[in-house]
A = this chain, B = another copy of it.
């Protein structure tokens, strides 16, 4: 049995490179960018009018001139106009190019317009005001978005602006999620008294969808030969296999044995944690196998604690550890790391974690009340004190 830290270390030593694919930018939200995005022009690309109003030469205002004859209108989307007489003005619209031979914009609120004459009705004007100067946000060729960024709405906007209609992102792994256990029937079936419905595979599908990873699912009965044949073909076809169940000490927990017979190299089995202790992890040349224990909370927490960081490292995304303040004393006796479901609340810039009174690793329904897990370290201490800070893993 190894520690959570050692298990994480081994998993992070065994990441994969899924390669790169090109997709339409609008489908790229949530995906991991695999190229630097550079400014194709200055940002903004011209001296851009930032207020609706008039554009003048500031020196005439300094000379005491307040009345400016209007030569024309510079609309957004029109080629740049030129002010002929430097003592006149142009009406200018937000988003337009600043006309040649002008250097200052006065907003309509500070001007009275009479037919063809604009009269400035304020006394203070700064040279160059209300102009969004060419290149002042970013100059051409500056990197706007770094490779390995997770794309959000902000990046979608920048991709559009620089004309990246097609964008390079990390390919997603091909994942097969397999449930085992003869007690399981499908969601649309009516279970007999001794049966329950499959749920873990769907929880895993949903957790992977949160990473934009599509996944397939399968169910295999607890028969060793069938298990072996199916897994043999999955190992060839997929980058990742996620199992739920059949890794404990039961008579029909064939999975570790079968994986061994199929040449999957076991890197560890059993981690000193609760829930999720019987977790098994191994690899082949081309495939990583995460075999999670079958209790719903075990599967759920192991996916967050192990698969998520493995995926993030595989696609070169760095993720920040989050922490929260425990709101009540918790007693936890065994010398194991403990992942406890918590409700997270925000108050006064602080994040508080309230433990959810679950009923062990089988209590799937308790997760509905939780937002994440708090991680208590493996220690001889039996009590974790109210007000102490611990790492958290959020799932909503």
In the complex, which of the residues B149, B161, B368 contacts A364, with contact meaning CB atoms closer than 8 Å? B161
* A187 and B165 in contact, given A75-B252, A253-B52 (Cβ under 8 angstroms): yes
Copies of this chain in the oligomer: 2
Q: Is the CB of A77 within 8 A of B194?
A: yes
Interface band, chain A? 35 or more
Among A114-122, A178-186, A224-232, A329-337, the stretch that binds chain B is A178-186
Chain B, Cβ-Cβ closest to A387 = B349
Cα A158 to Cα B389 with chains together (Å): 30
Chain B, Cβ-Cβ closest to A221 = B77
Residues of A108-159 at the interface with B, using a CB-CB cut-off of 8 Å, are 108-109, 132, 136-138, 144-145, 149-150, 152-159
Q: Is the CB of B323 within 8 A of A222?
A: no
Q: Is the CB of A187 within 8 A of B154?
A: no
Q: Is the CB of B200 within 8 A of A157?
A: yes
State whether the Cβ of A87 lies closer than 8 Å to any Cβ in chain B. Answer: no
Q: Is the CB of A193 within 8 A of B45?
A: yes
Q: Is the CB of B75 within 8 A of A199?
A: no
Beyond A97-B193, A158-B364, 8 additional contacts (C-beta under 8 Å) are A25-B187, A76-B182, A77-B222, A137-B364, A157-B296, A159-B187, A161-B199, A323-B346
7 contacts between A and B (CB under 8 A): A76-B222, A77-B183, A136-B359, A153-B206, A157-B206, A157-B296, A325-B349
